[in-house]
Structure 1
Amino acid sequence: MTHLLIYLANPEVREAIIAVLGSLVTAGSGLFSRYHRAARRHSERKLDLAIADVAFLLAVEERYGELLEKHGLPNSKRTIRAQARTDGYAWSGKFTPGRVAARNSHNGELGVELRRMMARLESAAEPRREAA
């Protein structure tokens, strides 16, 4: 133990120990930062996938309603959603197609894909004019 105290009494040894500790802290913070960024990117990809799935399901719901109306049945989207709520499911409304497009309009591929999908849905809903 006394040998350790003798070494620590030397200013050059203390400077070397402080330099090593500083390098370890710097390396550790860099690793933590890279891990945090990677984890965040992974979470963002999962969120984008979930939002795309919600957009898909909303498009399916829209098409199903159109199909019901085409066969003369009432489009009961609100009734079906109310029944789902009574079954214990909740709809936050935070990921509607318009809100998702607004969220991703600045630089997301998902926003572009969502707008394309909505344009396709709107064009499919319009009656086609036959050439005369």
Structure 2
Amino acid sequence: MATASPKSRPLSPHLGVWKWGTHMLVSILHRITGDGMALVGTVLVVWWLAALAGGPESYAAFMDVFTVKGGALNIIGYIVGVGLTLCFFQHMASGIRHLVLDTGAGYELKTNKMFATLTMVFSVLATLAFWAYQIWGK
């Protein structure tokens, strides 16, 4: 059996070959945000259920992290809340982008880059609007 020399065999492209673009970043962010929401959501639900089972003191400790007391919310609650909100809006926008791509539209390079950029811009603006309403809108 004849074997080809290593120089004549085609090489599989890797990250060093591809030029990074927003479409690649959005694809990776879509996976990270989906996994992140699933992981953090699971931890929060388990923590909440354990707090419920642990009695009034443990439930009060859980609620202290995620509710406003005396006009101030625990910083951990803000970080988790804003992070989950940003992940949600990014994942949703990227999912809508993929839905449009599944119809066969948006594959032109400029359009694809614009849609990818818009998903990130939308997620940041939607998160800011959501939290602005949560803090000052009520």
TM-score scaled to structure 2, two decimals? 0.35
TM-score scaled to structure 1, two decimals? 0.36
Higher relative contact order (CA 8 A, sep 6+): 2
Q: Which has the larger radius of gyration?
A: 1
More helix by share: 1
